[in-house]
Structure 1
Amino acid sequence: MNERAPRSVETRTLRIAYAEWGADSGWPVILSHGFPYDVHAFDEVAPILADAGARVIAPCARGFGPTRFVSDATLRSGQQAARGLDILQLADALALQRPILAGFDWGGNASCVAAALWPHRFGGLVSYASYDIIDIGAQRRPASPALERVCWYQHLFQTERGRQCLAEHRRDLCRLLWEAWSPGWRFDTATFERSAASFDNPDFVDIVIHCYRHVFGLEAGDPALQPLEDRLARRPAIAIPAVTLDGTQDPLKPGGTKSDAPRFVAAHEHRAVEAGHNLPQEKPRDFADAVSTVRSWLV
């Protein structure tokens, strides 16, 4: 089924641009991308789901593509509570009835946040990297040296030199991450450039830098969102049906995330897929099948 023309909807904070597939009467799915990716990560996933009867919404995250802030005065926050709230407000603005959430990287994090904080509002979840709610307190402690090396970009972004590097070399830096995180995936320049155009958003650098500085506990978040961050710090369980996924070739998740299973207290299944970090674009049928599995549990 063909993608519709790009659309947008206004929430209290953002004018969210989104791609859409399927009929208005279809069962709703929100597909959320990560950094440094964009909605094109779902170019093959979404038509599969639309052909199965879904109405698929793939929003451009804050700081990506045509999505813009309603007010110039709003903090350009990349914190997880803000991105989870964006999903809730998108679902409300589009009047989606208990949509299934599915995402990876930042999109998996935001989907898990929304599912944990507002379980009454969503029907199910597909999350790459399982329980992907960031334990900000734990981020103050070091990981293994091997993983710290993989996360070099996060350390770079703590400095003003890192901000300047991202601003001046965003395409080169982001392509390095694509290549490192998906070592078995062969993509061409055109594929990368389709997504890289989204990095020209005027808020991209501010959002990315704030995200990683807030994660490290080195930059304050939006005070209005602190009550949500306090709830997330208590590591709430996810109480809606969920399929979780790992990419067996993902250097960011060595050993996988199957051990997170106890944090899912409704129907839950974990799957390992031979792929890297960008699983929806590398193995779109596996990602779509996970969404269809959650759908089958709800009907």
Structure 2
Amino acid sequence: MNQAPRINFAVTPLLRIAYEEHGPASGAPVILLHGFPYDPRAFDEVAPALALRGYWVIVPYLRGYGPTRFNNPSILRSGQQAALAQDLLDLMQALAIPQAALCGYDWGGRAACIVAALWPERVRCLVTGDGYNLQDIPRSAQPLAPETEHRLWYQYYFHSARGVEGLTQNRRELCQLLWRLWSPTWKRGTALFPLSAPSFDNPDFVEVVIHSYRHRFMYAPGDPTLEWMEERLTAQPAISVPSISLCGADDGVGPAVEFDEDAEHFSGFYERRVLSGVGHNIPQEAPQATLRALLDLLEG
């Protein structure tokens, strides 16, 4: 039987980051990063397996989730991509981790991809959900194909005051709906959702989520101290570290297409694996494929 993860806290300049810890601290570090609207439960079948192989596994609660808290009421509850990346760097600094293997999807995948692109010396290897996750914010005003636009309804909803109130009043119902829509063929989602839902009761959840989906469309200003990073990201820098992209064939928000449009953004070893019968919540829906990708990079 797997042991329950150790829950610890790392104090960074902005946050008291809660993280679940598996395996020996003497092992090679692996950081697993969840997305929206998920939490560390997404890695419940991945983290223990890595720990059994001797890896030191860190699974943080992102800003706005679970027990993670901001250090000061005056800190902007930003959900922008640069903030997520800075949180990851700050966590590594607080835990004295000079380099780690990274695995993430959705918001967590964005943080991992940014750190891999801008600080490749800090990243041993990368497993990314749905490829190259750096947002091209200056191009966000350009309309997409109608079929793509309709899948982004929740983002446009969050741009309105009605959406803020809707997320505030119905956060669990709305998040559960997204689980169903984004993972339409996943049979275990209904049973597993209650395990993650308490993480959305974080007092900063709504504010961070709303800011994330407004900032990416230039409807909300970002953290001025992170503007330098956002400017670097507009160049869409390449990722040079060894990388594997896992894509869900049944992803309801961004289904995998036949042609890999992200390959040009990877300059080192790169492989794309499309997972049949898998939706958006990749590590929880396909833990063995996620574990295999990590081990292929770490031990292959």
The CA deviation string for residues 6-60 of structure 1, in whole angstroms up to 9 with x for no partner, is 1111011110000111111111110000000001000111111112221110000
- From 275, 280, 292, the equivalent of 1:277 is 280
The CA deviation string for residues 233-283 of structure 1, in whole angstroms up to 9 with x for no partner, is 110111111111110111222343722112111111111112000010011
Q: Secondary structure of the equivalent of 1:221?
A: coil
Q: Secondary structure of the equivalent of 2:137?
A: coil
**Which residue number in structure 1 is paired with residue 247 of structure 2?**
246
Q: Secondary structure of the equivalent of 1:107?
A: helix
Moved more, 77-86 or 251-260: 251-260
Give distance in 2, aligned partners of 1:188 and 1:245: 19
**Which residue number in structure 2 is paired with residue 61 of structure 1?**
62
CA shift, 1:189, in A, is 4.6
CA shift, 1:3, in A, is 3.4
**Which residue number in structure 2 is paired with residue 44 of structure 1?**
45
**Letter of the 1:11 counterpart:** T
Percent same amino acid at aligned positions?
48
The CA deviation string for residues 167-200 of structure 1, in whole angstroms up to 9 with x for no partner, is 0000110000000000110126551111010000
The answer to whether structure 1 residue 231 and structure 2 residue 232 are counterparts is yes
Structure 1 unaligned regions, length at least 5:
none
CA shift, 1:296, in A, is 2.2
Structure 2 unaligned regions, length at least 5:
none
Is 1:28–1:97's contact at 8 Å kept on the other side of the alignment?
Answer: no
Give distance in 2, aligned partners of 1:205 and 1:234: 30
CA 1:81/1:290 → structure 2, altered by over 3 Å: closer, same or farther?
A: same
Give distance in 1, aligned partners of 2:200 and 2:255: 28
Is 1:48–1:285's contact at 8 Å kept on the other side of the alignment?
Answer: no
Q: Secondary structure of the equivalent of 2:272?
A: strand
What is the aligned residue count? 297
**Which residue number in structure 1 is paired with residue 269 of structure 2?**
267
The answer to whether structure 1 residue 290 and structure 2 residue 293 are counterparts is yes
**Which residue number in structure 2 is paired with residue 15 of structure 1?**
16
**Letter of the 1:131 counterpart:** Y
Is 1:98–1:123's contact at 8 Å kept on the other side of the alignment?
Answer: yes
**Letter of the 2:264 counterpart:** P
**Which residue number in structure 2 is paired with residue 118 of structure 1?**
119
Is 1:77–1:207's contact at 8 Å kept on the other side of the alignment?
Answer: yes
Is 2:65–2:201's contact at 8 Å kept on the other side of the alignment?
Answer: yes
The answer to whether structure 1 residue 132 and structure 2 residue 133 are counterparts is yes
Q: How does 1:199-238 map to 2 (within 5 A)?
A: 199-238=200-239
Is 1:100–1:122's contact at 8 Å kept on the other side of the alignment?
Answer: yes
Is 2:78–2:223's contact at 8 Å kept on the other side of the alignment?
Answer: yes
The CA deviation string for residues 89-138 of structure 1, in whole angstroms up to 9 with x for no partner, is 10111112310010011111111011112111121111011111011122
Moved more, 10-19 or 47-56: 47-56
The CA deviation string for residues 197-248 of structure 1, in whole angstroms up to 9 with x for no partner, is 0000000000000000001111110111000000001101111111111101
Normalising by structure 2, report the TM-score: 0.96
Give distance in 1, aligned partners of 2:108 and 2:269: 21
**Which residue number in structure 1 is paired with residue 3 of structure 2?**
2
Give distance in 2, aligned partners of 1:223 and 1:152: 28
**Which residue number in structure 1 is paired with residue 199 of structure 2?**
198
Give distance in 1, aligned partners of 2:6 and 2:132: 33
Give distance in 1, aligned partners of 2:179 and 2:190: 12
Give distance in 2, aligned partners of 1:122 and 1:188: 31
**Letter of the 1:262 counterpart:** E
Cα RMSD (Å): 1.2
**Letter of the 1:287 counterpart:** T
**Letter of the 1:82 counterpart:** A
Q: How does 1:147-158 map to 2 (within 5 A)?
A: 147-158=148-159
Is 2:247–2:256's contact at 8 Å kept on the other side of the alignment?
Answer: no
Moved more, 245-254 or 77-86: 245-254
Q: Secondary structure of the equivalent of 2:103?
A: strand
Is 2:112–2:126's contact at 8 Å kept on the other side of the alignment?
Answer: yes
Give distance in 1, aligned partners of 2:83 and 2:282: 24
Q: Secondary structure of the equivalent of 2:113?
A: helix
Normalising by structure 1, report the TM-score: 0.96
Is 1:181–1:277's contact at 8 Å kept on the other side of the alignment?
Answer: yes
